[in-house]
Amino acid sequence: MATKTQKPATSSTRMPLRQPKRDNFVITDNKMTVEEWAAMPDTKPRYELIDGLLFQKMTTTSKHAWTVGELLFVLKTWGQAKGWVFLPEGVGIKLGTNDGAVADVIGFAPGAQLQADETYFSQTPFLVVEVVSRSTAKRDRTDKKIGYAKIGIQLYLIADPDKRTLEIFTLKNGKYATNRVLENDDVWQPEELAGLKIEAEKLWMK
């Protein structure tokens, strides 16, 4: 188990102290707030904030990047003329006082007022996509799933390049229910996003 220094860190000096290899987490002296997390220097790999602890998003595989790119392309192509905004990983999503996520794809419905210099979004996305890897799958299906539901994200998509599946969760009464799991040659044409067509077989790197 990682040890902590005896001197409490202040908001101006709070920095990662040690990064154990297991689960890619970083320990600080005290739990960080979302505001402190958002004020960190822009670094790669990026960090997410779960219950006040920093979790590092590591460099990923080509198949992961392929799936992210395909989903972003399909969503932007469909939504651009309709006023939807879809963005790649980068800006954070505030999930609570000590929780912040960095999703692979974020989608905002028409009329969303986004600020050019935001470090985390002030408005709630309508749709979020996570493309899982071995190191992130657990958090994507637990902490982040709970957090996304809590702030009211209506559609949550989990793509798994290894299993070649796309899970679709729809928010109902504050919780996600599995709406559908796409695989093989399945096609998703959601009522909430009229005219959108996602073909599962095109999401995976050959």
**What's this model's pTM, rounded to 2 decimal places?**
0.81
Evaluate whether residue 107 is within a structural domain: yes
Evaluate whether residue 148 is within a structural domain: yes
Residues 26, 30, 32, 36, CA torsion sign: negative
Q: What's the pLDDT tens digit per position in 26-82?
A: 655 678 898 888 888 776 667 888 888 888 776 678 999 999 999 999 999 999 999
Evaluate whether residue 54 is within a structural domain: no
Q: Say how many domains are in the chain.
A: 1
Q: What's the pLDDT tens digit per position in 84-142?
A: 999 998 889 999 888 889 999 999 999 999 988 888 888 999 999 999 988 788 889 98
Report the C-alpha gap between 88 and 37 in whole angstroms: 19
What CATH code is carried by the domain that includes residue 160? 3.90.1570.10
CB 173 within 8 A of CB 152: no
| Full domain range(s) for residue 92 | 62-202
Report the C-alpha gap between 75 and 104 in whole angstroms: 13
Token pair of 105, please? 């794809």
Evaluate whether residue 43 is within a structural domain: no
User: Is the model more confident about 206 or about 185?
Assistant: 185
E strands, the chain, in order = 25-26, 47-50, 53-56, 85-88, 92-96, 99-101, 105-108, 120-121, 127-131, 155-160, 165-172, 175-182, 187-188, 198-199
Evaluate whether residue 172 is within a structural domain: yes
Evaluate whether residue 188 is within a structural domain: yes
Evaluate whether residue 52 is within a structural domain: no
Report the C-alpha gap between 161 and 66 in whole angstroms: 9
Evaluate whether residue 162 is within a structural domain: yes
Dihedral pair phi/psi, residue 163, rounded to 5°: -85, -15
SS3 for 8?
A: coil
What is the amino acid identity at position 194? A
Report the C-alpha gap between 175 and 198 in whole angstroms: 24
Token pair of 139, please? 């958090």
